[in-house]
Amino acid sequence: MALGHFQQTNLANAGTLLQGGFRLGVAASAATFAGGSLGTILGIGNLTSITENIEKTTTQAGNSDQPEKLVATHTITASFELLEFWLPSFDAIRGGDLDAVSTAGVYVSGSANVFTTGGLNVLTEKAYIFENTTMVAGATAVTVLILYSATIEQGLTFTAKSDHDTDPAMVMPFTLTGQLETSRAKGDQLFIIESELGV
């Protein structure tokens, strides 16, 4: 939670500086997040970037300004990092039949977290939530960003560090692509942001 070190007054809209990082959660659907639940919390880490992607149509008459440009595709890309090497979180993020998890170890001990993967399987779309809490005038203000339907964009990436590194913790990056959830009303199919900042 951001402690609110920056001045939140004398802004055009008072109390609207979003400070600090985000908690991360995943669920089968966005309905799970109603009432403040984060679904399966993915452990400590941070949201690193959000990019809304809009591709417009390009077909146009040579002697007219018609047809007007339309949205051809509308997606969102979310990148985040985890610090906790918690194998069940990897499976929760990736979804579907791509992976399997258990606690029946073979190679290190009989009791271990086990994550296996491999195969041309279905990726199940999931809902993701990113929650920020900022202190404003001594009170908390919560902001959430929810992707209604997203899947992983890439496989696991591990970049190990030296035992003698000044910061030896390994960071694990993930990238998601959110697609339109067409069962929802138009104008509310990709993502939602709700914020108590400035309220």
- Quick check: is 142 in a domain? yes
- Quick check: is 29 in a domain? yes
Q: How confident is the model at residue 7 (pLDDT cuts 50, 70, 90)?
A: low
Instruction: Over range 154-174, report the average pLDDT.
Output: 92
Distance CA 22, CA 145 (A): 10
Of the candidates 21, 174, 184, 37, the one whose C-alpha atom is nearest the C-alpha of residue 95 is 174
Q: What is the pLDDT of residue 2?
A: 59
Domain that holds residue 186: 23-54+70-195
Note if the pTM is more than 0.85: yes
What does the DSSP assignment read for 90-154? HHHHH-TTSEEEEEE-SSS-SEEEEEEE-SS-PPPPEEEEEEEEEEETTEEEEEEEEEEEEEESS
Extract long-range pairs of 26-35: CB within 8 Å, 24+ residues apart.
26/92, 26/93, 26/126, 26/127, 26/128, 26/129, 27/126, 27/127, 27/129, 28/126, 28/127, 29/127, 30/127, 30/129, 30/146, 30/148, 30/192, 32/127, 33/127, 33/129, 33/144, 33/146
Please tell me the chain's helix, strand, coil percentages from 3-state DSSP, rounded to the nearest 5: 10, 40, 50
Distance CA 25, CA 127 (A): 9
Dmax (CA) for the chain in angstroms is 73
Collapsing DSSP to helix, strand or coil, 12 comes out as coil
Q: Residue 81 pLDDT more than 70?
A: yes
- What's the domain count of the chain? 1
- Quick check: is 104 in a domain? yes
Structure tokens that stand for 7 in this block:
């001045």
Q: What pLDDT, in 10s, does the model give residues 20-64?
A: 889 999 999 999 999 889 999 998 888 999 999 999 988 877 777
